[in-house]
Structure 1
């Protein structure tokens, strides 16, 4: 998985047809998705319950590109190996999920997966600097985690400060929550390069008629790239 700061669109399968995950993954990739984002929720760290390693393993053969697994669970460490074995390319844990995040990131890296760190809207950047050498991705939440379809919370200032903190390091800045053609430019301009979108990608389409997926993906990408003034 080579590093690039080009805008990447990562549809969240939380908004897909649960009965057709394999076909949905193939459809959004065919329509231009760069990554597939899997939101894992445990009913403890967040109130919703979604997927486990078995679901990731089941969809892995249908994902040609990057499987980006976002663990909204606590504790995290006992489940890292399971998600890595299920085929996760990136495993992201929350800063707020446990007291030993440095150890968690080490454990993710030890499996061969890329390591991500997610920050809730109410979490600042204190402590992130000490973790940069273990990070491949920082996920800035622009909604409170737990459910799809929430209203966007503008984290532009946090993203700008994070981008400056990262400097030239090959670390992605991912945005998760409320991404649309209207909100994506704010985040791209601030320095984000991975945009997670659920309902904004899957609305209006289906595995039978996936064309709207492509229209939606292009709209988000075009708006984000226009905001940066360049296409990397």
Structure 2
């Protein structure tokens, strides 16, 4: 089984690219989904977050107050480091479990969609890394529209992550997402074909490139 780590800056279009890989037959594991699993009410990680941040980190129903937490960590680097220290090991362990389950079921190509792949050291869990790259102005516009943020808040979130040039330097593959969806998809199809070939499965069907 081959695992490709898929990462990039916030708002770069990783989810769209991950969906394209899934449509081509890859199994996709999303770090954001794993992050939600580890903080269900009563989970040890959520208990640790309450110990660190207080009851304000919880909603009235006992679930994680994601809005409050996001505002806190993007304005306080120490709080962000503490959040990462608490959550990253649990996410990594759950990812390992998912990969093992997929391997048992015969999966050959797995995409690990992880926004903080490098920051969390999760690049050590994958066989290769692809970065979804986009110009900063496009990234800023997408992020502001998607999360309903003003420019200052959006820039703070972008700045909280590893700079894109550094991610590109450390990546094995780069997917340019500045153009149309069709242009992005062509790159994904080519990369998927390469992964399939490396995994010894034979070629991707030509119609998938349309």
State TM-score, norm by structure 1: 0.29
Query: Which is richer in helix?
Result: 2
Q: Which has the larger radius of gyration?
A: 2
Considering fraction of residues, name the structure with more strand: 1
